Chains A and B, each alone.
Chain A
């Protein structure tokens, strides 16, 4: 470049004139991509869009006039990287979180009300079926709840043992560890229920129904020993939150499956993508609900032994969730 005679090739001159801009952009980009966007000064941040436009124009010129394939490839990669930086998410994490709790989460759950209702109906129907089956013939219990799940709570157990489980924690010294385990397990299952929706809704329905069956069977077992009221309190303190979360996860799965089977006037791809956008926020919310359910179950239930208090907390949580999700609110500005 120090000898102008060498620049008889126009593409060489073009490169010599613009190269410093590209290098500058590359340096800023590397800084930003390595998570140091905060360290960019205001001047540097303002510089990026200008350099980006220059790089875009360089790319167009290079494609039209330069036959140096590596140069065009370099500019393509630089322009692509800058595009995603410039047009990527501009909001920070705090803003995103506020938007999520204010609009995205309740909005998504609200728009899923029909599917949630269907999932809840399946849950209730399965619970009733499980209850009726076990009451009619206690043998059903072992097929609905295998030994490892029931932990000794089966028709052969003594009433005293069953009652003991409701009010004492056996060797569960670590309440919070137990709560954590419950949360991670439930969250994993609810994500699975959601993902299964893609397989045309049916596996999701089965998983939700399975939940309901064991619930009904357990209730029937306790009811047959005259402990119906007590098991209700034991279940509802966390159950209202957890079952609502299950219904929402199932509903989100149904929405995905339904969009894939019946995309309507949109293409199947577009319909699925739109369903995915709506359900994503709802599912992130389900995980949060399950954290709370885990705390209520692992800690709250072990500390609070009064049946009425357990019922009260369960009912209050349910009202809270329903109000948060479904009460009309001001439109998003």
Chain B
């Protein structure tokens, strides 16, 4: 009997003398939201070491971008952080506008702020409710997804799609905000705060949630900076670095908002920082709507005929509009040669676009500075010495989005 067993099982070298066990937290796992593999060395329930593997959803965005025109890259950027895809779209449009040197009217900036903050609310709602699901509290998820549906309806009114929005164009938006959009925004702003308060009362002072998340998955500010953290994960460690205040874009300097900051960088702090950011976003949307009241309501794009498609009625009747349309679609416009880097505050931190243009129809090189990829490197260090269930909660609190990791 023992002889037969020894023949069938092939153990790796040195494994009989090993005191630890190896667990494969594999690419398909209910708790890893996205495809990440971690090979854990465990001593009972404690984790000694972790080796992450990424690349299970590598879609070669940077290579595709070298073969597409500038306006065709927007649907690609959608699929980076797909929980808050309008922010990625706007970031890409702002990069191209920086390259061509376009100035946008204020109303377009405020419209962009509204859309970006709605997307940020949607992203943080997913992350926080999923932290709840991982600790066993399913109801928060159900409450909060009703409001994601309201946000999806607003996106649908503006651009036609719910999740991967491809919203906006280089120079503004494809259509003006209709009355229905404003009505839906008002409805959202009226009903959401009450639901958010209910969500907070479910979790913030909940004894079980606090015991599971305080002190778990923490990282110090110095190590976080060395690892290149940005976004809510960095702000939870105590450093108030927010791209919206450090390198303002899209008229964020006109707005009055504060940047919430935590202390220890553990899961509870990240949860609270994201909740506070949701409240800040609601306030930003209200301020933007207020500011838009004094501006000319028919303006929704900049006057850059070289890059912004003209109206279809003009294309069929006027000569110049026809020529501009042809030039833009066929890629004959003169794009400046140069290299530009622009970043926006995405749901996870600094999403940067490094664009090198050689004057042709497609970029020569486009590199995405993806926040998830950069801070996931710190994961083995964060979970060393913690228990397996804590490792799972840490992963979901870092808000790892597989598409953005390109993994």
Is the pairing of A and B real? no
A residues at B contact (CB < 8 Å): none
